[in-house]
Structure 1
Amino acid sequence: MSDETNTGTGTPAGPQPEPLRFFGTTWIDHDGGYTGRRIGVAAGSLATAVAACFVLRFAYQGLAIADVGTPVTLMVVVMFAVCSALAFRHTWDAFTKRPDPDRQASLRGLLAIGSLLAYSFRSLTEAPGEKLHREEYETARDQYTRRTTRRTGNPSRKRNHR
């Protein structure tokens, strides 16, 4: 970042990085407890996914106690497996490109266990969404630098040195 600031506001000039959930802007320079936060997010989301699996286990036991039959039980197990796999893939893709907000809202109920697992696995390598935000931030910073770079002199007044 440059040392320039906006006149009167005291904020740095140019584009500002977008903070990530649980990480703020520590993803820029990997400072401020970034590694500890990654470990904590990975462990926390994995623990939450395990807890969600226990809830599903209790639901499965409820179906067994109700004696609803094999087809219904199998259908419920397959549904949760497929929904979790779809949610994992959807969440994993959202770390590399911006998801469609309407689709995200319609899938909110499905994105439980799969999303937690994707979040946990992504935290092992980087802050979830860091790659996407870094690309956007660097692009905005480069565009800002190109717009604000000043030319020296008037090109039409340059002498021809032949």
Structure 2
Amino acid sequence: MSDENGTPDTPGGPRPEPIRFFGTTWVEHDGGYRARRTAVAVGSLLLAAVCGLVLRFAYQGLQIADVGPAVSLMVVVMFAVCSALAFGHTWGAFAKRPDPQRQSSLRGLLAIGFLGSLLAYFVRSLTEAPGEKLHREEYDKARAAYDKRVSRRTGNPSRRRRS
């Protein structure tokens, strides 16, 4: 390994992009990859449970404040819809790079729907590092293009026979 992210020593070519919490251990599934995946799954599920508890306390605060059933219903629906949208957005970001401009415009919605993002992390980390499939596709494509470029140039081109 050549650096603190666990990036493998390669003679040349593209370097894999690190994934949050995993570095570049996703390339060879080494360096504690399985333990990291387990930690991410357990951590995101625990964090989602704690956040659900905090939301419950907030809802009970609304009931104690006696704001009325309409406001309570709006708050519940708002968190449910924002969580569902955040889950879908986070899940989609694991398969395709999100547009940075759209990402910044959805920042508020994603902050409100944090529970959905945490659950998306949990579900994805059961099968792979979140975002691994996208990073692997990009890395394999860059690696293949690099190998094709390098293998094409062998020998002195002026000495080749022309047929």
TM-score, normalised relative to structure 2? 0.85
User: In structure 2, what is the Cα distance between the partners aligned to 1:108 and 1:96?
Assistant: 19
Letter in 2 for 1:108: R
* Map 1:1-162 → 2, pairs under 5 A: 12-111=11-110, 112-149=114-151, 150-151=153-154, 157-159=161-163
Cα distance in structure 1, aligned partners of 2:97 and 2:47? 25
TM-score, normalised to structure 1, is 0.86
Give CA deviations for 1:65-118 in whole Å, capped at 9, x if unaligned. 111111111111011001000000000000000001122223233331111100
Identify the structure with the greater helix proportion.
Answer: 2
Cα distance in 2, alignment partners of residues 89 and 134 from structure 1? 21
Which of these two proteins has the greater Rg computed from alpha carbons? 1
Distance, in Å, in 2 between the alignment partners of 1:155 and 1:135 is: 38
Tell me how far apart the structure 1 counterparts of residues 159 and 130 of structure 2 sit (CA, whole Å). Answer: 47
Deviation of residue 157 (structure 1)? Answer: 2.4
% identity of equivalent residues: 69
The amino acid of 2:129's aligned partner reads A
Shift, 1:158, TM fit: 3.8
Matched pairs, number = 150
Query: 1:122/1:110 Cα in 2 relative to 1: closer, same or farther (>3 Å)?
Result: same
Tell me by how many angstroms 1:148 deviates: 1.5
Letter in 1 for 2:161: R
Q: Which SS does the other structure have where 1:92 is aligned? A: helix
User: Residues of 2 paired with 1:71 and 1:116: CA distance?
Assistant: 28
The Cα RMSD (Å) is 1.8
Distance (Å, rounded) in 2 between the aligned partners of 1:22 and 1:45: 12
Aligned CA distance change for structure 1 residues 127 and 114 (closer, same or farther; 3 Å): same
